[in-house]
Structure 1
Amino acid sequence: MEFIAYDDFLLMIIPIVVYWVYSGIYEVLGSSEKYRLHSRRDEETKNLASKRAVLKGVLFQQALQATITVVVTKLTHEDAKPETSTNTSWFAAASQFMVAMIVFDTWQYFVHRYMHHNKFLYRKFHSWHHRIVAPYAFAAQYNHPVDGIITETVAGALAYFVSGMSKTTATLFFSFATVKGIDDHCGLMLPWNPFHILFGNNTAYHDIHHQLAGNKRNFAQPFFVTWDKIMGTYVPYAVVKRENGGFEARVAKH
């Protein structure tokens, strides 16, 4: 009897591989100051966690999530959630994808917001993520393990079970969510970035949240800004060009 089914293994490992490949691309692109929201010096002087600490923290977080994935897939009987047929229409898969995006966003918005408003939870757990004042790509999943499980792992589980996705569709969804999360933290305003065209929730939008002026604003992630607008926590941003090169995201004046 195999320890883990092949599709379960892909669901566990592909988003992790995508994380390091995609964030690695951004690290290479970020070698130039031309499109950066924060300089290399900002990363060294403003951030309260070293890149070595971030690397270790992200790897631990991913190992923890991979373990949870294995446990959940082993405990979930095949008849508890039948796999979607391989002949599922594109429309059905797209509908499940959209439901997953909405569920994922909703959970993350309200938990993320509560983490900021509850002083104990913020100080003990969520403040880890905000040690990164000048965000960069591979710090996207740098969280306290408890925060990572509550905010991200539970969000993913709910999105998976509520949407009814197959494991193949789920692998694509979590890979996409991984890419989007990295993009939100990459710190680069690339002019050809399709995410900046398709989503209002982008690199500059989330960068505002990592600033002191936006710490209680722009909680939504990773896809839409809908909950921020509904709940009154939305703040618009402006991207201005710095004299010494690169850009800066600022809270827009009304």
Structure 2
Amino acid sequence: MVFWEGYMSDESMGIFAPIVVYWLYAGFYQALPPLEKYRLHSKNEEDEKNLVSLASVVKGVLLQQIVQAVVAYLLFLATPNNSAQEETQSSVLEQMVRFCVAMVVLDAWQYFVHRFVMHHNKFMYRYVHSQHHRLIVPYAIGALYSHPLEGLLDTISGAIAFLVSGMNARTSVYFFCFSMMKTIDDHCGLWLPANIFHLFFENNSAYHDIHHQIHGFKYNYASMFFPFWDKLLGTHMPYSLVKRPRGGFEAKPLLKKH
């Protein structure tokens, strides 16, 4: 039994919960004070380097979430509600396995589309993916800021992960809310102490920050859970966190690659 049972269907929660989680979690980061001693870039750098206003970022995210909601609705429409039946037939372990399978599928899609479609294809980078890279200094609310076409492809990747893993609608609520929080955390621009995501995931805010900088533009493509594909295919750029004289950290590459 879950807290929304009797109030909303699992499918409705699967559509709306990730959107609510996005604004609550990203809003939490946005409401924090500057926290200069934990930032990967100073607030001045954020204001000076980023090429898009906060208002435009918010509009872009809302547009993507509309696409996300429509795709989720169509997905659940095409896969009849079987959550109640699966709850009696599937163990927690089986659902955890499906959760992990979805993570693997999402990781593979994100890496190969991000690297070969969005970066190596000059047309797609110039007219599509470059919109996301207008945030040279990432911040939480901008996690989903991207061109609508890229947003659609990202949303489709979630649908594929759902179908391949065989998870039910109820499990998908947890999976997509967790994925949303992980994406936000990767873009938050902060290195906070005792961050649970940093304890379990090497692919974190500093790892992704490297990719948004000139020296790491062709590296650290992995953008969800694990750096497996980066390490396997030679696009992994390790880094060290160095304290800046005026506070905060800088993710400095350990290896100079060309």
Do the structures match in fold with TM over 0.5? yes
* TM-score range for the pair, normalised by the shorter chain length: over 0.9
RMSD: 1.4
Match of 1:143 in 2: 146
CA deviation vs aligned residue, 1:110-148 (integer Å, no higher than 9, x gap):
000011011000001000000000000010000101011
Q: 2:224 aligns with which of 222, 225, 233?
A: 222
Work out whether 1:54 is the aligned partner of 2:51. no
Match of 2:4 in 1: none
Match of 1:86 in 2: 87
Within 5 Å, which residues of 2 pair with 1:90-169?
90-114=92-116, 115-150=118-153, 152-169=154-171
Q: TM-score, normalised by structure 1?
A: 0.93
Match of 2:34 in 1: 31
Match of 2:200 in 1: 198
Work out whether 1:6 is the aligned partner of 2:22. no
Give the length in aligned residue pairs: 246
Match of 2:209 in 1: 207
Measure the CA separation in 1 of the matches of 2:79 and 2:248: 52
The answer to whether the 8 Å contact 1:109/1:221 transfers is yes
Match of 1:17 in 2: 20
Q: Secondary structure at the match of 1:208?
A: helix
Measure the CA separation in 1 of the matches of 2:185 and 2:254: 21
Larger deviation: 195-204 or 86-95? 86-95
Tell me the amino acid that sits aligned with residue 252 of structure 2. Answer: R
Where structure 1 has 5 or more consecutive residues not aligned to the other structure, the ranges are none
Where structure 2 has 5 or more consecutive residues not aligned to the other structure, the ranges are 1-7
Measure the CA separation in 2 of the matches of 1:191 and 1:176: 20
CA deviation vs aligned residue, 1:44-87 (integer Å, no higher than 9, x gap):
1100111110011001110111122223323x152xx8446123
Measure the CA separation in 2 of the matches of 1:251 and 1:122: 24
The answer to whether the 8 Å contact 1:30/1:188 transfers is no
The answer to whether the 8 Å contact 2:61/2:146 transfers is yes
Instruction: Point out 4+ residue stretches in structure 1 off by more than 3 angstroms.
Output: 81-84
Change in CA separation of 1:89 and 1:30 when aligned onto 2, cut-off 3 Å: farther
Measure the CA separation in 1 of the matches of 2:17 and 2:73: 14
Identity across the alignment (%): 50
CA deviation vs aligned residue, 1:170-206 (integer Å, no higher than 9, x gap):
0100000000000100000011101111111011000
